[in-house]
Chain A
Amino acid sequence: MQKIMVIEDDTAIQEELALLLENEGYTPLVVTNFTDILGQAVLERPDLILLDIGLPGRDGFSLCAALRKAVSAPIIFVTSRDAGVDEVRALSLGGDDYITKPYSVPVLLARIKAVLRRSSGEPEPADTLEAGGLRLSLTKGVVSANGKTAELTRNELQILACLMAHTGQIVSRADLIDALWDNQIYIDDNTLSVNMTRLRGKLAEIGLPDAIKTRRGMGYQL
């Protein structure tokens, strides 16, 4: 499990962030004693550091420079300072990313994932998803089953990918729209219905007409 060091002086955020990271399968390491952060970092060897700028005693910029020399972990600045100069300064001091508060949780998690992937040299996530007898190629935008294939549009691809990532679970329409917005597809409820109908049509063509079930009043299920 990857260790993430949280350097943040707001206790409510400390707690919630630790909980969030734990739920996402990381080991959070919350700094509560701000006098010797450097020593703690060297001792614990985290895989990633989330660093606030406004800290008691020492500001995040100088801390970042010091951490850079002491440990190899990537550093993500998480701060409420959103002036452009702060961001430039943070990145030039060796920060790997810069997120401004208040952040949305999915954005924070996505950035953490991206930085960790970059630093550990892990390959990009798998290109194909498999579930319920379907095989979906994300880069080619092609779904196949029973030896037959169908090409999907960008919207259909993202809808299917979202359902396949949550196989067996009910995904509500609102969650689906949310997931699509994450991928810069900004659709409304009606467009979702249209895309869903088309997607089902294509799945029917390759012999799986009932792959996506409608759970009335709740959402969809693969």
Chain B
Amino acid sequence: MVQFTLPRNSKITKGKAWNPPAKGAEPGRWREYRIYRFDPETGENPRVDTYWVDMNDCGPMILDALLWIKNKIDPTLTFRRSCREGVCGSCSMNIDGTNTLACTMHAEEARGAAIAVYPLPHMPVIKDLVPDMTQFYAQHREIEPWLKTDSPTPQKEWRQSHEDREKLDGLYECILCACCSTACPSYWWNGDRYLGPAILLQANRWVEDSRDERTGERLDDLEDPFRLYRCHTILNCTKACPKGLNPAAAIANLKRKMVERT
């Protein structure tokens, strides 16, 4: 359902400024970060705290800055991170107005003088920058993302030609970071029923897999006004993907498959 404003318990209040640099500090040395904070223990509304990161002492990436703040200023700042090289998808968040991975974004790429950091948009927040991904993962489970076959399992591996394997390029690289899905206004308004770009890209990955023998069944499951057809080609997904994939094209491919089989 479309609701442009935030619910009462989600309205953002003014937070605190943690370490404003001293007057006459070296210009350009301290980079300002405005970070969304929510503490479930206090029951207070979310707020935006301001931190200044010493660029002479901190690595180049946004994740470096977050870790610098956590280590040096405020150990309560909470966020997910793991691989620090864009492979695991843990540190996805909204940085400088768009969804991306904190570990692969340079602080220099930010357009804002103060770098705004929020959790992935339109998600229930567990704490600070950590959203509840339960629904997202349940939707991934719903498309049954594994090889489904009727033929007897071969002695060795399921064979695939080079050409057929190439059809999975641009699909298998998805790390399920949810940057695309949570950038999509359709997913914001109808995330309970619309599967969203990440899950539809995964669905397309299994529809395109030459070894899978339940393509028709998979398409049947997507033939629904909400699950697939809430995509209105807004294209925020493709603009957001930190892996350079194209969920919008994957969804267009699914829509075309629907037409071709009728």
A, B assembled together:
no
